[in-house]
Structure formats: C-alpha cells, structure tokens
Chains A and B, each alone.
Chain A
Amino acid sequence: MMGANDVVQIEFYGVLTQQAGQSTMDLPLVANATLADVLEQLAAAVPAISAYLPTTACAIDDEIVQRSATVKPGAKLALLPPVSGG
C-alpha cells in the first residue's frame, strides 16, 4: 500500500503548468532514486513536458539541486523551466 512517504510531490511552474495541464502531481518514488531517475520517470508519465526537461532546473525544499541528488520520500520537487523575469 502506497503512503505519502512513498511518493514525490511534483510542482510545475511556468510553461510546464500549461504543458502538464496541472500544477502539482504525485509520482511514485523508487527507493534511492536520484533526481535524474525521477525526471526520467516523470517524462514517461507526462510526455508533454519531456522536451522541456533538459533546460529545466529543479529545487527540493527551496534549494536548487543537481541531477545526481537523491530524492527522499515525501520530498517536494519544484520544476523550474527557463525563466523570464524582469
């Protein structure tokens, strides 16, 4: 049975919200998955965003993280596509 701790909460921002058709979703988390693993899984689950992922930065708990980072159960993962502030 899958609990809140067995998933990663994905938050979409900018154009990704539009592409994904939602602003958040839960993704099942495999034990010891890296961010790269999670993104690969996400691309398969939501193909509409896959083209954007190579230029998308990721933040866990409000800090930018590398693709090699381990994603912990229950983590909130923010997907930040190319930015256009100013």
Chain B
Amino acid sequence: MNSTTRHLQQEPLDLGALLQETQDPASGALVVFSGTVRNQFEGKAVARLEYSSHPALVEKMLGRLEQEVIERFGVQQCRIVHREGMLEIGEDSVFVVVRAAHRGDAFAAARYAIDELKQRAPVWKREHYDDGSIEYQEGMPLSAGPAGGSH
C-alpha cells in the first residue's frame, strides 16, 4: 500500500490528506465516516475524551482491516485512521474513507470498517467529566478478526 498517513496519530486528523491519498479515477463514490467527541455520555456532561492505545497492534490491525474491506466489498480504496491523546469536544477521533465504483458498496464498506474497528482496535477511551471525575468506558472484548484468530 502506498499510503503516507499512519493509522494512529497524536496530531489532529487531516481529512484533506486522506482524500488526496485515496484519489481514484475508477471510483464514482466517496463515503467518509467521522467519529467526533460529543459532550455527554449516558446523560453525564463530558468535558473531553482521552484515547490511549497499543500503537503497534493498532497499526497492524487497522492495516489488515483496510485490506479486508477492500477484498470483501470490492472497493477501490479504504483508509482508516484513529487519533490518540486528549481530545476536546467536536474533535475527530476517527476517519474511515472509502472510495468505490458505486455508492452501495462504499456505504456498506464504510459501515463494516467502523463497526469492526470498534471490536478489533486496541484503543481505550477515558471520559473526563465536567464534574472532575474520570472513567474508562466499559468497552467490548477485543476480537482479533478473521485474519488473526480470536481471544
């Protein structure tokens, strides 16, 4: 893969760079999913979110997931990037960019990519609430996906 953007980034995510990297004349559809930090969780006011990860595994797993999405849905391009560190309300925590010949495959592939990321990426979210309390979200048991066995 000749991409330049890493899967895990400390700095704000750059959608423009991803769109540039994935430009593809055979694609008639572009779907972008962005996860953004929202100001509440289960009714509690959130001030900011802190993301931590296992960086080497994130790089490996998201790279595998991109390839899997391309093969499974027959799309032209799939890029997935995740942010790490302290994020303010409204900042982007994740981008999924899919380019495909047609919109149906592009929507389905992007949906699959974000759903699988949530189960497979070793990333942990910690809510910093307005009242000063800090809590890890419960999360779901890590799945290694079809490429790497399961736990």
Tell me the A residues contacting B by CB distance below 8 Å.
13-15, 18, 55-59, 62-64, 66, 78, 80-86
Chain B contact surface mostly: mixed
Q: Please, could you name 27 A-B residue pairs with CB atoms under 8 Å apart, sorted by A?
A: A13-B53, A13-B54, A13-B122, A14-B136, A18-B136, A57-B122, A57-B142, A59-B54, A59-B57, A62-B57, A64-B142, A64-B144, A78-B57, A80-B122, A80-B142, A81-B124, A82-B139, A82-B142, A83-B123, A83-B141, A84-B118, A84-B139, A85-B53, A85-B118, A85-B124, A86-B82, A86-B94
**Is the CB of B109 closer than 8 A to any CB of chain A?**
no
Instruction: Provide the bound-state CA to CA distance between A56 and B54, in Å.
Output: 14
> Which of the four size classes fits the interface of chain B?
20 to 34
Instruction: Provide the bound-state CA to CA distance between A61 and B150, in Å.
Output: 16
Q: Does the CB pair B56–A83 fall under 8 Å? A: no
Q: Does the CB pair A83–B122 fall under 8 Å? A: yes
Q: Does the CB pair A63–B148 fall under 8 Å? A: yes
For B118, give its contact among A14, A18, A56, A83 (CB under 8 Å). Answer: A83
Tell me, rounded to whole Å, the shortest Cβ–Cβ distance linking B125 to chain A: 4
Q: Does the CB pair A78–B54 fall under 8 Å? A: yes
Instruction: Provide the bound-state CA to CA distance between A78 and B53, in Å.
Output: 11
Tell me, rounded to whole Å, the shortest Cβ–Cβ distance linking A62 to chain B: 5
Instruction: Provide the bound-state CA to CA distance between A80 and B121, in Å.
Output: 10
CB neighbours (8 Å) of A58 from chain B are 151
